[in-house]
Structure 1
């Protein structure tokens, strides 16, 4: 049961809570983790931007690699086998949730753990929810870990 657990990790406090929960489950089940970080350069800049400066993208990648390295170290300290994957949204037709679903499929995830900010009303409608989109199309169980109320 839950031998392969995917955790979406962006370094936020909510994703840190999700990582801690995924580690608890992995220790209990003897499972292994795949910690995934998705770089989304499309959403911050909108559909009109056709060029993302190479140094900005390189900076995003380096920050993501450092976050993944820290998550891997935390898993190793907990005695949990862990791999990491750095993903990037390919274009305006793809989303963070879509990238995570592809990763879950490739990894053979039996459980996906996602942090959620629990936004409501207009804020949710404007910002959207990666967790909500992921859950709607999930092929395996999904555990949502709630962060602090927004």
Structure 2
């Protein structure tokens, strides 16, 4: 069914769960997986922070290498083929979701598996949602994998009803 699966990773527990799910789907379909780390470093105005810009970029790239190396080890352990990738957001107004889209198209992904924190209300409004934005842009199926904290929040209304009833 699916042959080329892209899965964004960022070092969070939520993205780790998404990678696990991508590996399960890949094993079941003999598919190739590409874990993707996005370097998102917004342009800095010419002030004191601009001095540290190259160091911050290098640190993010190194973090991406570390995470993709870990992902490759998990893939090898699970017997799943693929090559991780580190990509950078274009400074021409690109955002993370657009970068994921570009990488999915480059890879020829027929499925994108990504984690979502499942934030609601003010948290979602203030923090935004890369997963939600990507789903609006996507040109292939997207599987959203909730983080454990989202699963816990989702079960709370049921627990509240049981206590009240």
TM bucket, shorter chain: over 0.9
Q: Output one character per residue of 1:56-95: Cα deviation in whole Å (capped at 9) or x when no partner.
A: 2111111110000000110011000011111111226111
Q: Which runs of 5+ in 1 are unaligned?
A: none
Structure 2 Cα separation of the partners of residues 145 and 93 of structure 1: 27
Alpha-carbon contact 1:41-1:89 (below 8 Å) kept: yes
In the alignment, which residue of structure 1 is the partner of 2:61?
Answer: 61
Compared CA separation, residues 49 and 126, structure 1 to 2 (3 A): farther
Q: 2:25: which partner in 1?
A: 25
Question: What TM-score, normalized by structure 2, do the two folds share?
Answer: 0.84
Greater relative contact order: 1 or 2 (C-alpha under 8 angstroms, separation 6 or more)? 1
Counterpart in the other structure of 2:133: 133
How far does residue 148 in structure 1 lie from its aligned partner after superposition? 2.3
SS state of the match for residue 83, structure 1?
coil
Q: Where do residues 1-150 of structure 1 align in structure 2 (5 Å cutoff)? A: 1-42=1-42, 49=45, 51=50, 53-91=53-91, 93-149=93-149
Q: 1:92 to 1:147 in 2, by over 3 A?
A: farther
User: In the comparison of the two structures, how many residue pairs are matched?
Assistant: 146
On the 8 A contact 1:72/1:84 being kept in 2, the answer is: yes
1:26 partner SS: helix
* 1:85-142 C-alpha deviation (Å, 9 max, x unpaired): 1111122611100000000001110100010000111111111000000001110000
The runs of 4+ residues in structure 1 deviating greater than 6 Å are none
The structure with the largest alpha-carbon Rg is 2
Question: Aligned partners of 1:128, 1:137: CA distance in 2, in Å?
Answer: 15
* Structure 2, unaligned runs of 5 or more: 151-165
How far apart are residue 13 of structure 1 and its match? 0.2
For 1:114 and 1:138, the matched residues in 2 are separated by 12
